[in-house]
Structure 1
Amino acid sequence: MKYAPLQSKLFVKNRKNLSKLLNPESLVVFHSNDITPTSADGVRPFIQQTDLFYLSGIDQEETILLLFPDCLEEKHREILFIKETSELIAIWEGHKHTKDEAQEISGIKSVYWLSEFDNIFPMLAFEAQNIYLNTNEHARTIPEVESRDNRFLKQCKERFPLHNYKRVAPLMQYLRAIKSEYEVDAIQTACDITEKAFRRVLGFVKPGVWEFEVEAEIIHEFIRNRSRRPAYDSIIASGASSCILHYITNDKQCQDGDLLLMDFGCEYANYAADLTRTIPVNGKFSQRQKDVYNAVLRVQKKAIEMLVPGNYLKDYQKEISLVIEKELIDLDLLDAQKVKDQNPDQPLYRKYFMHGVSHHLGLDVHDYGSTKRKFEAGMVLTCEPGIYIREENIGIRIENNILITKDGNVDLMKNIPREVEEIEEIMNA
């Protein structure tokens, strides 16, 4: 792996925390992601299933994790099944984990080859009363492709129809919302690499460069700092494209007078950073651009103040909407009287700000975390207000990553320039 190994004590602790939430006599199963085909003999780069990584640290395909805390035989309370390598695989694909390496990474003593799973699993299933199975229950998911977890779910229920089946996803949602110090360190590293990429493009952007050239500068900086890839498809949106929320074509030439909205983040050890900055292509904001930018920045600073223990996401979003409303009135984009008389179910500000202010961040960019749960110490959330004025080709979003602590919060991107004067000074140095 390009990234430095994480400490096995992280995964040991995560497994212990999950085991405490399981019902007695329960067996839980996690599968790695598939290697996804393209066409002919092509495949996409492998990305590990994040629950399995969270519990084992294994970043390799064809992996299964079993947890059975109440198993009579101690060696079967935690079991890792990994792909058996061969000389042929080593020649064509390179090194795969040995059993000793998998033990060292995960802290799991019992490691078997994957071929042994069908012999061991039935024996444990007959001893268990409950079987917890994993499914992707994220609110934003669109499950068009069947996963290994889902295929196993069908097979398991056919073979053991009378067991009591339970969902492990709610437990993972609960646990993963709170980051340990090791996870925060990994996210901070991702943020620091993202900062280097942003500073690099501040010295690169000028009228005439292409959006894909900016994207290339970002990816170059990621990889040279031990990241394997961006955490998500980078948005490099100039001019009118800055008002397209999920613009990823990145194929326009940046023009003098344009704004350039860049939403990108580094992935490091499977943990994500998520940054957005908006800069002037020519290095100097116009007065109108500056006014809108500073309005968004004021909203962000107010929102960050509210990312503290005890607040609910829904209440936080509602209060920040009122702040945005006022800024839009001051920018002559909304009429105060019409806002006063508006339908509360169809607020007028949604024309210029149509997305949420924050989401959880971690192993996934849109990480696990219930919207009905109060903010707690250890949560990491983005803070990303924006204003999008399509008729003026002005789209501005500013996004930082915030760690909530018992004493307030910590901005993991505090060193990344965001003030108008900072950005202009660096771009014109």
Structure 2
Amino acid sequence: MKYIPLPKSLYIRNREKLKEKFPPKSIAVFNSNDIMPTNADGTMRFRQNNDLFYLSGIDQEESILVICPDFPDPNLREVLFLRETNEHIAIWEGHKYTKEEAFAVSGIENIQWVANFDNVLNSLMALSEHVFLNANEHLRAAVVVETRDARFIKSCKERYPLHQFNRIAPLMHQLRAVKEKEEIDQMQIACDITEKGFRRILSFVKPGVTEYEIEAEFIHEFIRNRSKGFAYEPIIAAGGNACVLHYIENKEVCKDGDLILLDVGAEYGNYNADMTRTIPVSGRFTKRQREVYDAVIRVKKGASDILRPGISIQEYHKEVGLMMQSELLGLGLIDQTDIKNQDPKWPAFKKYFMHGTSHHLGMDVHDVGTMHEPISAGMVFTVEPGIYIPEEGLGIRLENNIVILEEGYFDLMRNIPIDPEEIEGLMN
């Protein structure tokens, strides 16, 4: 991997936090993700299962982590199974973890080859009652292919039908939502790399460049700073394209007088940044563009101030909606009659601001965490209000990533230019 690994103490601590949530005589099994096929003999790039990575730091395919805290033999309470390498694999695919290297990364002392997994699992299951297995339970997940986890759940239930099976996902969501310092440090690096990419394009953009050329400038800067690349498919949306929330074609020419909405983030060490900026192609905002930009930045600041411990995401979004309603009134986009006649399930402001303001951020861009329980210190959120006016060919979104503190917040993107006058100065 390109990135510098985090210390094994983090993964040891993460495993201890999980064990505290188990009832007696529990066992949990975590599988790595599959390498997914494309066409012919092609495959996608491997991306480790985030839960396995969170608990071990192991970033390699065909890995299995088993945690069985109450097993009589202490040597079998944590076992990591790895793909055994050979000369052929080394020549065709490159180096794989040795047992010594895997211990140095994970802090797990008992490292075995995957070929031993079934025999060891059988011994552990004989003295276990509660079996915790993993699945993708993200609220927005649309899983249409059978995963390695799904195959294992099926085979495990067939092999051990009398055990009590449990979901590990709710426990992992609770743990992963609150970041450790080392994780925040890794996210800061991802944000810093994103800043470098943004500053690069500020001196590059001018009328006549294409959206895909801007995308190329970002990926160049990201990879040269140890990132795998984009944390998600980048949105480089000039003019009216900015009113398409998930526009990813990035194929149009940027024209004089238009704005470009840039929703781009770098990945670093399996942690993500998620930035949005909106800049003028010509290097200068028009009067109308500046009015809308200033409205969005006011909502962003107000939203950041109220995203605090104790509030729920649902309550937070209602408060931000009222802020946006006030700004849209000021811009003349809605009036009091619109508000009086609005559908409470789809308020008038939703015509111009139709998405949520914040989501959890971490190893997943839309990271796991609670959507209904109170927010806690240590969580990391995006703050990304926007105003989209298709009839004016104008879309503006601004987004930073913040860490929730006991009092206030810490902005991981505090150094990325957002003030419109600073952006104009850098572009000119």
Name the TM-score, length of structure 2 as normaliser. Answer: 0.99
Partner of 2:208: 208
* Distance in structure 2 (CA, Å) of the matches to 1:156 and 1:90: 32
How far apart are 1:341 and its partner, in Å?
Answer: 3.3
Between stretches 45-54 and 305-314, larger displacement belongs to 305-314
1:273-319 alpha-carbon deviations (Å, 9 max, x no partner): 00000000110111111100110000000000012111111111001
How far apart are 1:13 and its partner, in Å?
Answer: 0.4
How far apart are 1:258 and its partner, in Å?
Answer: 1.0
Q: 1:57 aligned to 2:52?
A: no
How far apart are 1:118 and its partner, in Å?
Answer: 1.3
How far apart are 1:123 and its partner, in Å?
Answer: 1.1
Partner of 1:48: 48
* Distance in structure 2 (CA, Å) of the matches to 1:80 and 1:66: 6
The 3-state SS of whatever aligns with 1:21 is: coil
Q: CA RMSD in A?
A: 0.7
The 3-state SS of whatever aligns with 1:229 is: coil
How far apart are 1:323 and its partner, in Å?
Answer: 0.6
Partner of 2:352: 352
Partner of 1:34: 34
Partner of 2:276: 276
Partner of 1:72: 72
Q: Where in structure 2 are the equivalents of 1:143-162 lying within 5 Å?
A: 143-162=143-162
Between stretches 50-59 and 305-314, larger displacement belongs to 305-314
1:237-281 alpha-carbon deviations (Å, 9 max, x no partner): 111110110111111111111110000111100000000000001
Partner of 2:330: 330
Partner of 2:237: 237
Q: Which amino acid aligns with 1:247?
A: Y
Q: Which amino acid aligns with 1:57?
A: G
* Distance in structure 2 (CA, Å) of the matches to 1:386 and 1:146: 36
Q: Where in structure 2 are the equivalents of 1:15-26 lying within 5 Å?
A: 15-26=15-26
The 3-state SS of whatever aligns with 1:230 is: coil
Q: Which amino acid aligns with 1:290?
A: R
Q: Which amino acid aligns with 2:242?
A: S
The count of aligned residue pairs is 428
The 3-state SS of whatever aligns with 2:20 is: helix
Partner of 2:372: 372
Partner of 1:193: 193
The 3-state SS of whatever aligns with 1:165 is: strand
How far apart are 1:36 and its partner, in Å?
Answer: 0.6
How far apart are 1:126 and its partner, in Å?
Answer: 1.2
1:25-62 alpha-carbon deviations (Å, 9 max, x no partner): 00000000000111111111101110000000000000
Partner of 1:408: 408
* Distance in structure 2 (CA, Å) of the matches to 1:277 and 1:23: 47
Q: 1:109 aligned to 2:71?
A: no
The 3-state SS of whatever aligns with 1:261 is: strand
* Distance in structure 2 (CA, Å) of the matches to 1:246 and 1:234: 9
How far apart are 1:372 and its partner, in Å?
Answer: 1.1
How far apart are 1:337 and its partner, in Å?
Answer: 2.7
How far apart are 1:4 and its partner, in Å?
Answer: 0.6
The 3-state SS of whatever aligns with 2:104 is: helix
* Distance in structure 2 (CA, Å) of the matches to 1:427 and 1:333: 30
* Distance in structure 1 (CA, Å) of the matches to 2:252 and 2:10: 43
Structure 2, unpaired ranges of 5+: none
* Distance in structure 2 (CA, Å) of the matches to 1:308 and 1:3: 32
Partner of 2:99: 99
* Distance in structure 2 (CA, Å) of the matches to 1:29 and 1:346: 43
How far apart are 1:365 and its partner, in Å?
Answer: 0.3
How far apart are 1:346 and its partner, in Å?
Answer: 2.4
Q: Which amino acid aligns with 2:100?
A: D
Q: Which amino acid aligns with 1:169?
A: A
Structure 1, unpaired ranges of 5+: none
Between stretches 379-388 and 368-377, larger displacement belongs to 368-377
* Distance in structure 2 (CA, Å) of the matches to 1:341 and 1:227: 49
* Distance in structure 2 (CA, Å) of the matches to 1:138 and 1:345: 24
Q: Which amino acid aligns with 2:108?
A: I
How far apart are 1:349 and its partner, in Å?
Answer: 1.0
Q: Which amino acid aligns with 1:385?
A: P
How far apart are 1:343 and its partner, in Å?
Answer: 2.3
The 3-state SS of whatever aligns with 1:81 is: strand
* Distance in structure 2 (CA, Å) of the matches to 1:349 and 1:5: 44
Partner of 1:3: 3
The 3-state SS of whatever aligns with 2:53 is: helix
* Distance in structure 1 (CA, Å) of the matches to 2:298 and 2:211: 28
The 3-state SS of whatever aligns with 1:161 is: coil
How far apart are 1:407 and its partner, in Å?
Answer: 2.1
* Distance in structure 1 (CA, Å) of the matches to 2:119 and 2:342: 65
Partner of 2:385: 385
* Distance in structure 2 (CA, Å) of the matches to 1:325 and 1:378: 30
How far apart are 1:145 and its partner, in Å?
Answer: 1.1
Q: Which amino acid aligns with 2:297?
A: L
* Distance in structure 1 (CA, Å) of the matches to 2:148 and 2:17: 24
How far apart are 1:338 and its partner, in Å?
Answer: 2.4
Q: Which amino acid aligns with 2:349?
A: Y
* Distance in structure 1 (CA, Å) of the matches to 2:336 and 2:131: 57
* Distance in structure 2 (CA, Å) of the matches to 1:19 and 1:39: 41
Partner of 1:166: 166
* Distance in structure 2 (CA, Å) of the matches to 1:370 and 1:346: 23
* Distance in structure 2 (CA, Å) of the matches to 1:87 and 1:344: 65
The 3-state SS of whatever aligns with 2:410 is: strand
Between stretches 223-232 and 334-343, larger displacement belongs to 334-343
* Distance in structure 2 (CA, Å) of the matches to 1:20 and 1:386: 41
Name the TM-score, length of structure 1 as normaliser. Answer: 0.99
How far apart are 1:198 and its partner, in Å?
Answer: 0.5
How far apart are 1:375 and its partner, in Å?
Answer: 1.4
Q: Where in structure 2 are the equivalents of 1:241-252 lying within 5 Å?
A: 241-252=241-252
Q: Which amino acid aligns with 2:235?
A: I
* Distance in structure 2 (CA, Å) of the matches to 1:417 and 1:104: 39
